Each structure stands twice: as structure tokens, then as C-alpha cells.
Chains A and B, each alone.
Chain A
Amino acid sequence: MGKIVVTEFISLDGVVEAPGGEDFKYPGWSFEFDRGAEGEQFKVDEAMEAEALLLGRRTYEGFASAWPEYDGDLADKYNGMPKYVVSRTLARPEWNNTQVLRGDLTEEVNRLRSEVCGDISVAGSIRLVQGLLERDLVDELHLMTFPVLLGTGRRLFVDTSDRSVWSLAEATTVGDGVLITVLQRKR
């Protein structure tokens, strides 16, 4: 049984827009903080443990234009593992091992969960994650909270039709006051 693992860089005020660049008032804001060797290792372990990636179209396109240019274990992992993109418009995905999901989100994700054995990692992909949270399809959340208030930008959590209860599986402080939390959905 696959597990949907959402992983995000998030500001103290809940903003997840453009932590690593792109067009935004504060592009790359997460890079201003050292996340220490432990923080780097957390991201590497998380990627190496993933069985597949589930991405929104914009995040997919960003990854697809970057990862094929790199070499090394991490790049091999990203370039090799199965990628699933949620998009109604993407016609010909060019990144190796990609499938486009066009159907109902709940059905597609439940099918993935039954077919993939292990972590299905969702990074960035703000709109997709909001859809997954609304449908209660997220099994685990990895948040790297940076000690900064941005005051503007897209937030991860928006209003949802129900509440949810999670358990805190891990909480560590790394580098410049960066808080890593792992939360598991209690069902």
C-alpha cells in the first residue's frame, strides 16, 4: 500500500510559494537560512526513500527542466523513478518515466496508493496539495519551517470542509532555527 507523503518548505506564516526561486516578491527565501548537515540529510533521505513522485503540472515542469541536467545518486533517483503528473493540459511529458493523471483526483490517487508500494512523494505542487488535503488523501506531511515572516504569497493551508487530526512523529531543529516536523494522519 502506497503512502502519500507531502513535503514542503514553509515560512513561519505558512507561505510555500517559491521557496527556491521563481517569480515572487522574495524568490528563493528558503536559501537565506542554513539548514545544516542534518537538514540536508533529511531531504536526501526523503528523496532516496521515495518510490514515486506525484506532482502538479508547474512543479513537474520545473523538475523536468532541471533534473535531467544533473548527475549523481540523487539525480539518478529523480530521473529514474516513476513520475505522475496531475494535469488536464500536459500532452507530451518529456521527462523519463512519466505518466499523466487526467481522471478524478480521488480515484487516481487511490489507484496509485494500491499500485505503488512505499512513499509517493509530493513536493511543491501547491494547488495539488490543497486538493489532496481537502479530499483527506495525505498520509504524511514533512514540513521544513523557516524562521521568517513573508507577509505575502500563497499559503499551503486554505479553508477545508473538515478538520483533521495528526500525530507528530518527528520534530527536530536544524541549522539556523529551521524546524523539521513529520506528521502522520490519524485515521
Chain B
Amino acid sequence: MDVQYYERLRLPRSIVVRFPYGRPFGREHEPDNQRVVLEHCLRLLESARGPTVEPLPYRWRREDWTAVLASLHSR
């Protein structure tokens, strides 16, 4: 499903990931991957001022999740 699909649903806030179906928060046994997605959810909860669809740029299998998480926390 892509961004247009979520826009059509008019949800208050959506995070869209390009992960295989069945792993919305990320890969199994990759807690840093899951922490990154969850942190984006929390940030969107706080920052959205109206209905928002936010696609995440991450690629399945190709990220160093510990580094991504560290850089997210430094922002």
C-alpha cells in the first residue's frame, strides 16, 4: 500500500513503511529497527497539526538500525 492509499483513508496520522507485510514495526529480533519506527510514530503524534501521512525513507535489509536510531535521537 502506498501513500495515496493512506491519504484516502483520512486517518489522523499515518506512518508508511516499505517493509514486507506483516512487519509494520520492522524485522523480527531487530529491536533497534522497531525502536526507530516507534519513535517516528511518537514524533508524529506530537508534531502533527492536522491529518498527516508520513512515508519513512528506510529500506528493508539495508539499514544499520543502531546508527539510524542514534542519529534519530540526536535530532
| B partners with A | no
Which residues in B have some Cβ–Cβ distance to A below 8 Å?
Answer: none
Which residues in A have some Cβ–Cβ distance to B below 8 Å?
Answer: none
